[in-house]
Amino acid sequence: MPSPVGHSLIGLTLGVAFLVARRRTEGWHKWLGENRGSLLTTVIAANACDLDYLPGLLIGAPNSMHRWLGHTALWAALAGIIIWLLWRRLAPRLPRGALPVLLAVALSHIVADYFDEDTRAPFGILALWPFYDGFLISAHPIFLSLQKTSLADVVSWHNVRAVTQEALLTLPALLVVVFYKLRPIRHDVAPTKPA
Ligand SMILES: [Zn+2]
């Protein structure tokens, strides 16, 4: 499965593309401050499916519940709605289209994990449960599977390579949308009234 880096970059790309208004700002700090709600919620939504590590962590076996019910489109959609409800409660005003964008971001996790080179049985994810109870995995993976059996695995060169590959695949799209949103807007001269 891609790491939080890959999922977050995909989520941020969708968040910046559809929740952030295109306008000129004086600097990065101001831009980040103005859009922190959109950026933070998209990162949370993009990683919500991996909350299924938590029950396993409590019993000392992090992978035991991972990639099952927490990796269904149904849970991703529910997570998107819950995050939207919490955001609506905490923020005075949400950007237009916040709910569909959060749903798309949460579902992007399922799509990204589908394209993971899963090396551990059961291969793939229960993406379409309860409508289809088989594990789904792409025949053409684009993300390397992370090693996470032990702490030494987590900081292994294999994982550094996997995260670098994720960044190379997902960062360019984010840079393009950020560049577009921050590009100076050309102000046309207001039309003059006919005499
Ligand atoms: Zn996942």
State mean pLDDT over 47-76.
Answer: 83
State mean pLDDT over 176-187.
Answer: 82
62/4: higher pLDDT = 4
Q: Domain range holding 36?
A: 4-182
Question: Which residue, among 29, 40, 37, 134, has the nearest Cα to 88 in the 3D structure?
Answer: 37
In the reported structure, the alpha carbon of residue 29 is separated from the centroid of ligand 1 by a whole-number distance in angstroms of 31
Give, as one character, the DSSP assignment of residue 51. G
In the reported structure, the alpha carbon of residue 110 is separated from the centroid of ligand 1 by a whole-number distance in angstroms of 7
Domain membership of residue 165 (yes or no) is yes
State how far Cα 131 lies from the chain centre.
24
Q: How many domains does the chain have?
A: 1
Give pLDDT, residue 121. 81
Instruction: Indicate the pLDDT class of residue 187, thresholds 50, 70 and 90.
Output: low
Each residue's pLDDT tens digit, 92-117: 899 999 999 999 999 999 999 999 98
In the reported structure, the alpha carbon of residue 88 is separated from the centroid of ligand 1 by a whole-number distance in angstroms of 25
Domain membership of residue 30 (yes or no) is yes
Do residues 84 and 99 touch, judged by C-beta distance below 8 A?
yes
Domain membership of residue 134 (yes or no) is yes
Residue whose structure tokens are 């916040």: 98
In the reported structure, the alpha carbon of residue 64 is separated from the centroid of ligand 1 by a whole-number distance in angstroms of 13
Domain membership of residue 194 (yes or no) is no
In the reported structure, the alpha carbon of residue 20 is separated from the centroid of ligand 1 by a whole-number distance in angstroms of 26
Each residue's pLDDT tens digit, 125-173: 989 999 999 999 999 989 998 887 777 777 889 989 999 999 999 999 9
What pTM value is reported for the model? 0.87
In the reported structure, the alpha carbon of residue 61 is separated from the centroid of ligand 1 by a whole-number distance in angstroms of 16
In the reported structure, the alpha carbon of residue 35 is separated from the centroid of ligand 1 by a whole-number distance in angstroms of 26
Residue whose structure tokens are 């009234």: 193
- Tally DSSP H helices, then E strands, for the chain: 8, 2
Residue 193 has pLDDT above 70, yes or no: no
State mean pLDDT over 20-26.
Answer: 77
Domain membership of residue 187 (yes or no) is no
Q: Are strands 116-117 and 143-144 parallel, antiparallel or unpaired?
A: parallel
Domain membership of residue 190 (yes or no) is no
Instruction: Indicate the pLDDT class of residue 25, thresholds 50, 70 and 90.
Output: low
Domain membership of residue 188 (yes or no) is no
* Distance, CA of 151 to CA of 148 (rounded, Å): 7
Domain membership of residue 189 (yes or no) is no
